[in-house]
């Protein structure tokens, strides 16, 4: 492909041609099966407007963050979910780091975190000097055991971080009551929880702060990306400064001050408007994406529940107070040997199923720092949980393949 750059219009025409070619390649890569895998674990879902909006960013000449699509994404969460204030970030990890700065986490503070989670949930607070106190999972669900939280609180506890695992809400009334009683903050790690609810309240709008992820494995994606939601007025102004490298530049851009400068600590947490443009194309189609995922989740449940009745597996538990978002469908096998046998069988049959997480309390990095408590439910899920393929564009044929092969595994045992 030969491009001419003789003037501004030809420049943009040339860039558009490159974008079209790249877009075709992206669609090709997304839709191509992995070698030896007929049903991948995840496949990014494209709505069709991602390229159009990214092209609009390019044409606008405003490529950096906090421009048109950044504001559109933040406004979406405020309008649709009632979030008080939103700050788009480059990742959920960035959003968690911002929450740690806003809570003024320092050496000697303690932060309670579930052990069965991704490392970002803990490391954001460790980097500020906190001692992480790991909590066990529930017996019936990988989420944090709310009934054990109060026993972990000391006079050094600064915050409780809860993870809405698989988009299934924690018991937020219990969590918030405990936090209020002891004067500690609550951060909702809602990385997996967009469009999940607790008693009709959107997840991410209940704690003092919340964080979301838009990684390519999530329901709504931008490749990499995240968001900090601030539900407590005390933290809103400072959050804006921290995201802008410790400067009051955003106030300057709004015309509220005649110059900006360095006023606090912070970092470069703001994503480009390209990322936001991709994300907004996804948010526009959130109802359709969620309808697809919920149908897939329910079909898994309907077709595999007899295996649970026969005692072969445990299916996901959803408490009455929770409305899940179909982020994950998993099976809990009786032990590690059977989990691995099923996983390897599915792999040999062209189906990619995965396990996670390795509990953080027993990780190579932290096990010497852990206080020695046994977290038996975390260990159970580490050994026994298997995630099945789950993505919005999953065809009926792909899902039937997975279901049939799971049944065959157990019938042939």
* 19 sits in which H/E element: helix 8-31
- In this structure, the strands spanning 131-135 and 197-198 are unpaired
pTM for this prediction: 0.90
Q: Which CATH class is domain 59-284?
A: alpha beta
Per-residue pLDDT of the chain (413 residues; tens, 9 = 90+): 333 333 434 433 443 444 454 444 444 434 444 556 699 999 999 999 999 999 999 999 999 999 999 999 999 999 999 999 999 999 999 999 999 999 999 999 999 999 999 999 999 999 999 999 999 999 999 999 999 999 999 999 999 999 999 999 999 999 999 999 999 999 999 999 999 999 999 999 999 999 999 999 999 999 999 999 999 999 999 999 999 999 999 998 888 999 999 999 999 999 999 999 999 999 999 999 999 999 999 999 999 999 999 999 999 999 999 999 999 999 999 999 999 999 999 999 999 999 999 999 999 999 999 999 999 999 999 999 999 999 999 999 999 999 999 999 999 97
Q: Under CATH, what is the fold of the domain 286-411? A: 3.90.1150
d(CA 320, CA 322): 6
Q: Which residues does 269 contact at the CB level (< 8 Å), separation at least 6?
A: 87, 89, 90, 94, 95, 97, 98, 242, 243
Q: Could you tell me the residue ranges of all domains in the chain?
A: 59-284, 286-411
Determine the 3-state secondary structure of 357 from DSSP: coil
């Amino acid at each position: 492909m030969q491009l001419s750059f003789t003037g501004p219009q030809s420049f943009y025409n040339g860039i558009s041609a490159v974008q079209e070619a790249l877009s075709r390649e992206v669609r090709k890569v997304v839709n191509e099966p992995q070698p030896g895998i007929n049903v991948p674990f995840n496949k990014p879902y494209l709505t069709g407007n991602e390229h159009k909006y990214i092209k609009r960013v390019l044409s606008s000449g405003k490529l950096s963050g906090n421009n048109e699509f950044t504001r559109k994404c933040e406004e979406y969460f405020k309008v649709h979910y009632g979030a008080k204030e939103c700050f788009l970030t480059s990742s959920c990890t960035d959003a968690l780091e911002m929450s740690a700065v806003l809570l003024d986490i320092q050496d000697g503070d303690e932060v309670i975190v579930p052990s069965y989670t991704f490392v970002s949930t803990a490391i954001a607070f460790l980097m500020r000097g906190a001692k992480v106190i790991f909590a066990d999972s529930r017996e019936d669900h990988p989420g944090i055991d709310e009934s054990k939280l109060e026993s972990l609180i000391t006079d050094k506890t600064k915050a409780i971080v809860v993870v809405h695992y698989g988009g299934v809400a924690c018991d937020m009334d219990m969590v918030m009551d405990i936090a209020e009683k002891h004067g500690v903050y609550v951060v909702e790690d809602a990385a997996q929880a967009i469009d999940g609810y607790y008693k009709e309240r959107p997840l991410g709008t209940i704690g003092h702060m919340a964080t979301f992820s838009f990684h390519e494995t999530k329901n709504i994606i931008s490749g990499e990306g995240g968001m900090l939601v601030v539900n407590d007025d005390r933290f809103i102004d400072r959050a804006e400064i921290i995201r802008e490298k410790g400067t009051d530049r955003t106030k300057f851009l709004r015309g509220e001050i005649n110059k900006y400068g360095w006023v606090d600590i912070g970092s470069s947490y703001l994503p480009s408007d390209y990322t936001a443009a991709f994300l907004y194309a996804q948010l526009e189609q959130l109802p359709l994406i969620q309808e697809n995922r919920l149908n897939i989740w329910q079909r898994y449940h309907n077709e595999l529940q007899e295996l649970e009745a026969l005692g072969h597996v445990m299916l996901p538990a959803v408490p009455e107070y929770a409305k899940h978002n179909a982020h994950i469908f998993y099976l809990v096998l009786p032990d590690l040997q059977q989990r691995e046998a099923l996983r390897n069988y599915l792999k040999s049959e062209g189906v990619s199923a995965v396990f996670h997480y390795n509990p953080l309390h027993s990780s190579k990095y932290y096990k010497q720092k852990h206080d020695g408590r046994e977290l038996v439910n975390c260990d159970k899920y580490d050994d026994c949980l298997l995630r099945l393929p789950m993505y919005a564009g999953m065809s009926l044929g792909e899902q039937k393949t997975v279901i049939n092969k799971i049944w065959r595994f157990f019938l042939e045992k």
